[in-house]
Structure 1
Amino acid sequence: MTVTTRLEALPHRHVLTVPTLPSAVRLARETAEQALTEWGVSLLHPAVGQALLIVSELVTNAVRHAAALSPQTTVLYAAGADCLAFGVHDRHPYRPRLTGMIGGTAAGGLATVMELTLGLGGTAVVRGDADGQGKTIWITLPL
């Protein structure tokens, strides 16, 4: 089953598109908190705090590294009874490698994202846009 198929199968979805500015980080996190609450996912669930940190790190990376080529960033949120998924999309063509970041010398936002994601038993994947000029980093976490 692909990430897209799983996302479509999840009953709760929300999309947020914001200017690729530092204020996007706080707004993306607050939107995640609001959506999770509306969907009946407790903010006290053991995975939620780390999921919010992952969203914040991914949006921060978009602001730091993609803003020049991507005036907007889109955050996609989805959840089901046992799964939380989200993607952060920008229009910068660079697609980071997510493998090899644990136990290696990688540091910073994506290394943190991978450590938290894998620590929760989740998955991470980078999907390029069809035109090669953007990408979405998808994270799926068990609840």
Structure 2
Amino acid sequence: MTTLLESLPHRHVVTLPAEPSAVRLARQTAEQVLTEWGVNAGHATVGPALLILGELVTNSIRHAVPPSDQVTIVFAVGANCLAFAVHDRRPHQPRLCDAGAGNPGGGLATVMKLTTGLGGTAVVRGDGDGRGKSIWITLPLGPPYATTQGRRQA
């Protein structure tokens, strides 16, 4: 993941209190930084990415408090990739699986369905101290990704 992040020139990190307003603030922050980075708000990946982000932040608030009193979100974008992570200090690492016969739905099933439907990936990474984790989502960001630098236009 470090190599991927190094190849993504735009990065932003925000830490929010683990309370319901964090979902709205995380989505607003994502919309703002994506716009600042020149990502077309109408791009087919943006809407589902915001849904995934909202679901991950909601899950973090529901399941990680306590011990985690805050949630940290990392956003990164490159010419062909959008990545973000939601981090909390609950050590439990959930299993990421698609909705199916054995898993009828719910938060992470929805996250996986949207992520894989877009051709993306999801991974859970534990903290080095074993006391927290991040769920990383990586989504392809092909055309029409409009940038202010003029690399691609919608």
Is 1:58 matched with 2:56? yes
- Structure 1 residue runs without a partner (length 5+): none
2:114 to 108, 113, 116: 116
Partner Cα separation in structure 2 for residue 88 and residue 54 of structure 1: 10
Using a 3 Å threshold, how does the CA distance of structure 1 residues 104 and 130 change in structure 2: closer, same or farther? farther
RMSD, aligned CA: 0.9
- AA aligned to 2:88 is D
Q: Which residue of the partner structure matches residue 85 of structure 2? A: 87
Q: Which residue of the partner structure matches residue 76 of structure 2? A: 78
* Structure number, greater radius of gyration: 2
- Structure 2 residue runs without a partner (length 5+): 142-154
Partner Cα separation in structure 2 for residue 136 and residue 5 of structure 1: 16
Amino-acid identity (%) = 68
Q: Which residue of the partner structure matches residue 42 of structure 2? A: 44
1:8 to 6, 9, 14: 6
How many residues are aligned here?
140
- Aligned residue for 1:105, secondary structure, equals coil
Partner Cα separation in structure 2 for residue 9 and residue 77 of structure 1: 13
TM-score (norm 2): 0.88
